[in-house]
A and B are shown apart, each in its own frame.
Chain A
Amino acid sequence: ETGVTQTPRHLVMGMTNKKSLKCEQHLGHNAMYWYKQSAKKPLELMFVYSLEERVENNSVPSRFSPECPNSSHLFLHLHTLQPEDSALYLCASSQDASGGETQYFGPGTRLLVL
């Protein structure tokens, strides 16, 4: 595997379910990110992790819970989601979390909440 991978690629869940999205980067980077891409809104940054420490939470509801066990892996735990949470969730990584570092994106997980 190379670059940034995400699993699953597609996920359908009910509002009472609990699920997790997984991201893995094979680039030796130290910073990882979650973004949300909705149909009618620009890409929104959700969380930033630097060396496994969360350094930014962009006013994301608590029903989204990130976890970064090491610098290569990032999870997004989902619970009691709403239909408006349906979107493409993109993971990215960069060498470090300094401003201006190039971010490399995974293919995304397409989430549908019923």
Chain B
Amino acid sequence: AQSVTQLGSHVSVSEGALVLLRCNYSSSVPPYLFWYVQYPNQGLQLLLKYTSAATLVKGINGFEAEFKKSETSFHLTKPSAHMSDAAEYFCAVSRSGGYNKLIFGAGTRLAVHP
């Protein structure tokens, strides 16, 4: 069975600091991995997706994530946080074959302070 663990339900950074949001997954088959962002009172917006084409995936708004098979990790980073990055971030896994079932982590709420 697939699962996703996001370490840290809340992360707080200063504006301009590095953002690092952690995601570990388990999957018995090569996974598809996603990061979504949810702003208050909104739905989920896709940040980036790993499809095995490249281990370093660049997304929108300056975010990127690196797939590390040996560590079963897909951590999300951004070099310099902006106030507008404050939101909740979800890591999700899906698998090839079968129906398109996204398994989500519990989410990490990012706070950015001046």
Contact = CB atoms under 8 A, between A and B. Distances in A.
Contacts of A107: 41-43
A105 B102 contact: no
A81 interface: no
Nearest to A110: B41
B67 interface: no
Contacts of A55: 99
Interface string A19-56: 00000000000010100000000110100101000011
Contacts of A4: 43
Nearest to A44: B104
A76 interface: no
Contact of B46 (A50, A90, A96, A102): A102
A13 B100 CA distance: 31
Nearest to A94: B100
Contacts of A33: 100
B100 A105 contact: no
Interface in A82-114: 90, 92, 94, 96-108, 110
Interface of B: 32, 34, 36, 41-46, 49, 51, 90, 92, 94-102, 104-107
16 contacts: A4-B43, A31-B100, A43-B102, A48-B99, A55-B99, A56-B101, A90-B44, A99-B94, A99-B97, A99-B101, A101-B94, A102-B46, A102-B49, A104-B46, A107-B42, A108-B43
Interface of A: 4, 6, 31, 33, 42-43, 45, 48, 50, 55-56, 90, 92, 94, 96-108, 110
